Chains A and B, each alone.
Chain A
Amino acid sequence: DSGVTQTPKHLITATGQRVTLRCSPRSGDLSVYWYQQSLDQGLQFLIQYYNGEERAKGNILERFSAQQFPDLHSELNLSSLELGDSALYFCASSPQRLAGHNEQFFGPGTRLTVL
């Protein structure tokens, strides 16, 4: 158990809908990262927050947004969903601001299926 929790575990929805994925980092970790993993794309970095502020941005679509709250939990909002958004979404946390300087602890993931 990494100490990172993600809810829900599974989500099935229809095209055009909006969903919210939730992540609680390990106790004491200030950085939260979001990743998308699909079969043909591998693990793709979406966005990082550090202590409530956006720290780094990857190839995140404009239909996607995220935020980190004062209690350090984070939410990833996906809107106008398309079939191609079906994937595993992982959240990870680490103590520090700079990615790569220390390990990231990954949650169990949310499997999103868009029908």
Chain B
Amino acid sequence: SQKIEQNSEALNIQEGKTATLTCNYTNYSPAYLQWYRQDPGRGPVFLLLIRENEKEKRKERLKVTFDTTLKQSLFHITASQPADSATYLCALPGNQFYFGTGTSLTVIP
């Protein structure tokens, strides 16, 4: 089994700043870790996948790090925009598939 913790409190940041979201897991280190975006009432949308042997992965304004020693992944959105406002979920495979409870991000214009 796996327990995942994400920032439980909502994150509010000013447009143009960098948002940093945290995902901590407690048990075994998975071979992969994924990040998804979810808008209210809609299904999650895949953003990035990072492998255990990759320290960092980038896609446009998104950056993910994966530290298996700390059992932590950080998700960064640079030059944030109001359209980035959503809930962000991290997910880990195991004998099943585990999602964190998500962090709600609001980017203020």
Chain A interface residues (CB < 8 Å from chain B): 2, 4, 33, 35, 42-45, 48, 56-58, 88, 90, 92, 98-109, 111
Task: Report the separation of the CA atoms of residues A42 and B97 in the bound assembly, to the nearest whole angstrom.
Answer: 13
Q: Please tell me if the beta carbons of B102 and A42 are within 8 angstroms of each other in the complex.
A: yes
Q: Please tell me if the beta carbons of B96 and A56 are within 8 angstroms of each other in the complex.
A: yes
Q: How many residues of B contact A (CB 8 A)?
A: 24
Q: Mark B74-103, 1 if CB is under 8 A from A, else 0.
A: 000000000000000101111111111110
> Which A residue sits closest to B49, measured CB to CB?
A103
> Which A residue sits closest to B43, measured CB to CB?
A106
Q: Please tell me if the beta carbons of B100 and A101 are within 8 angstroms of each other in the complex.
A: no
| Chain B: minimal CB distance from A60 (Å) | 10
Q: Specify which of A58, A92, A107, A111 is in contact with B96 (CB 8 Å cutoff).
A: A58
Task: Report the separation of the CA atoms of residues A111 and B43 in the bound assembly, to the nearest whole angstrom.
Answer: 11
Q: Please tell me if the beta carbons of A42 and B31 are within 8 angstroms of each other in the complex.
A: no
Task: Report the separation of the CA atoms of residues A100 and B36 in the bound assembly, to the nearest whole angstrom.
Answer: 12
Known A98-B93, A100-B92; contact A45-B43, beta-carbon cutoff 8 A: no
Known A42-B102, A106-B44; contact A100-B93, beta-carbon cutoff 8 A: yes
Task: Report the separation of the CA atoms of residues A101 and B91 in the bound assembly, to the nearest whole angstrom.
Answer: 11
Q: Please tell me if the beta carbons of B46 and A33 are within 8 angstroms of each other in the complex.
A: no
Q: Please tell me if the beta carbons of B30 and A100 are within 8 angstroms of each other in the complex.
A: yes
Q: Specify which of A42, A45, A88 is in contact with B101 (CB 8 Å cutoff).
A: A42
